Amino acid sequence: MDIHDAIRSQYLAALEMLKQPVLVCPEDMWNDPADHNRTWYVAFHALFFTHLYLQDKEEDFQPRAGLSEDDLEAGGRVLSRAEVLDYLSFCQALVNERVPRLRLDAPAGFHWHHFDKLELQIYSIRHIQQHAGELMGRVGARVPIELDWVSVAPDRPRHS
């Protein structure tokens, strides 16, 4: 297996796991003021950085229209579930487009990270998974759900 395919597969698996709590989150939890970071914002944040870190360098990043992290973080509008799921689909397509072309031995491309592009991708996948776990725990505390562990990209056969 090619390293690019393994990275692509694990990105897509992590994004599928993030999708699960987004899909089942009760409406009253979506923007609950009792949560320091609202459920929708945690999912958005994970997707925003996925989008960012799939670029060659920070100067190449173009946020999607209406999805500036600064605007949303500063108490701007609340993203709907449909908007978050749309952004998630966008990130899945971006993974399929960008990962096969990444120069993994290149610098990360972001002044705050001092490692190479390969480690940045591992870091980014860990970031998605951390927030997927956070949301699954939050949502799971209120509604009975089971985490469906996604081991590889949905389009890859699973080996036993």
Give a three-class secondary structure readout of the chain: CCHHHHHHHHHHHHHHHHHHHHHHCCHHHHCCCCCCCCHHHHHHHHHHHHHHHCCCCHHHCCCCCCCCHHHHHCCCCCCCHHHHHHHHHHHHHHHHHHHHHCCCCCECCCCCCCCEHHHHHHHHHHHHHHHHHHHHHHHHCCCCCCCCCCCCCCCCCCCC
Q: Is residue 156 part of a domain?
A: no
In a domain, 155, yes or no: no
Could you tell me which residues come within 8 angstroms of residue 108 by beta carbon, excluding any fewer than 6 positions away?
A: 114, 115, 116, 117, 119, 120
150 domain-assigned: no
Q: Does residue 74 lie within any of the structural domains? A: yes
Residue 147 lies in a domain: no
Residue 69 located in a structural domain: yes
State how many domains the chain has.
Answer: 1
**Residue 21: domain span:** 3-140
Q: Is residue 134 part of a domain?
A: yes
- Distance separating alpha carbons of residues 18 and 101, to the nearest angstrom: 24
For 53-95, how does the pLDDT look when each residue is reduced to its tens digit (9 = 90+)? Answer: 999 999 999 988 877 766 666 566 889 999 999 999 999 999 9
- pLDDT tens, residue by residue, 10-53: 999 999 999 999 999 999 999 998 988 899 999 999 999 999 99
In this structure, is residue 152 part of a structural domain? no
Mean pLDDT over 124-136 rounds to 96
pTM for the model stands at 0.91
Confidence of residue 4 (pLDDT cuts 50, 70, 90): very high
CATH number, domain of 104, equals: 1.20.120.450
Residues comprising the chain, all counted: 160
Instruction: Name the pLDDT band for 159 (thresholds 50, 70, 90).
Output: low
The pLDDT value given to residue 160 = 44
Across the range 89-105, mean pLDDT stands at: 96
